[in-house]
Amino acid sequence: MRVLVTGVTGQVGGALVRLAGEGAGEGIEIVGVGRDRLDLAQPGRIDGALDAVRPDLVVNPAAYTAVDKAEQERDLAFAINRDGPAALAASCAERGIGLVHVSTDYVFDGTGTRPYRPEDPVAPLGVYGASKEAGETAIRHALEDHLILRTAWVYAARGGNFMNTMLRVGKDRDELKVVADQHGTPTAAVDIAGAILALIRTRRAGDGVAPGTYHYTADGETTWHGFAEAIFERAGPVWGRRPTVHAITTAEYPTPARRPGYSVLDTSALTAALPSLPHRSWQAALDEVFAARMAAEETA
């Protein structure tokens, strides 16, 4: 089974290629492509990109992910997050192949009081969330054989993410202020990649999960403040010092894009559909990713 993975320079796309290379994708040939080979902003070229690889399945973690910048770059965000996936889904439909598409908790407005289920009404607060939501809708219309996997608060040892920002800033400062009224679940890119590989393996075995929209994150929930504390809990012994993290409100840290106050995702539908799906607490995943980041620093 040959699987084309987009966005290989990204956190999730990169993790998928690495994990498959380490043997987790046994019997599955992963062909990772970057923007140079499949540009979502060039929908007219997507057919050619698929024909060059001739995959049996496409996984699309590539996206315009600059949440704040998107407020100024609406057209580009919609081109990459709506029109690109729409064209990709149409190309998959023409070739009779499936599409696994990665989406986001930011499709919700965050006024919920219990973890969001896949069927809960969407109401994105910003351009990025709106563009991702539009991409989901376009895929549902164009292609029956789709899995839309919403995830949240993605981070990895490498890449622009909250953990790496905290480690960079916390190294130089004794005190930081971090938002404590946005609730969600930090999710390691490697865990998302593992879940996608598990979904592909069951599909290959002829026992795939039914098409539709699902949620996948690590187990548990926290706030950005809680996540920062957990990062410094691990960094403290390495650095021999630990910065103080002050809890602030979203109102005290204005950003161009509004963010949901509560975007914990209910993952039970996916776990019910695939009980063998790997999952662990966000803290256990952080232990591993933090260690990988420290190891990368040592060898750099």
Ligand X SMILES: NC(=O)c1ccc[n+]([C@@H]2O[C@H](COP(=O)([O-])OP(=O)(O)OC[C@H]3O[C@@H](n4cnc5c(N)ncnc54)[C@H](OP(=O)(O)O)[C@@H]3O)[C@@H](O)[C@H]2O)c1
Q: Which residues are catalytic?
A: 128
Rounded Cα–Cα distance for residues 99 and 74 (Å): 25
Give the shortest CB-207-to-ligand X separation in angstroms.
26
Interface with ligand X (CB under 6 A), residue from 91, 104, 185, 267: 104
CB within 8 Å of 28: residues ≥ 6 apart: 1, 3, 20, 197, 200, 201, 204
Our measurement of the distance from residue 276's CA atom to the centroid of its chain's CA atoms, rounded to an integer in Å, reads 20
With respect to ligand X, which residue has the nearer C-beta, 124 or 243?
124
Instruction: Give yes or no for residue 291 binding ligand X (CB under 6 A).
Output: no
Residue that is written with structure tokens 């190891």 in the block = 295
Shortest Å, Cβ 103 to ligand X: 6
Q: Are the CB atoms for 34 and 8 separated by under 8 Å?
A: yes
> 144-175: b or e for each residue (b if 16 or more CB lie within 10 Å)?
ebbbbbbbbbbbbbebebbbbebbeebeeeee
Indicate which single residue of 2, 21, 29, 41 sits in contact with ligand X (rule: CB under 6 A): 41
Which of 88/97 has CB closer to ligand X?
88
Nearer to ligand X, 41 or 238 (CB): 41
Chain residue at closest Cβ approach to ligand X: 10
Kindly state the smallest distance separating residue 206's Cβ from ligand X, in Å.
Answer: 27
Whether 257 and 125 have beta carbons less than 8 Å apart is answered as: yes
CB 139 to ligand X: min, Å:
12
Check if the beta carbon of residue 33 is closer than 8 Å to that of residue 41: no
Site string for ligand X, 124-143 (x = CB under 6 A): --------x-----------
The footprint of ligand X (CB under 6 A) covers 6-7, 9-13, 34-35, 38-41, 61-65, 80, 102, 104-105, 132, 151-154, 159, 189
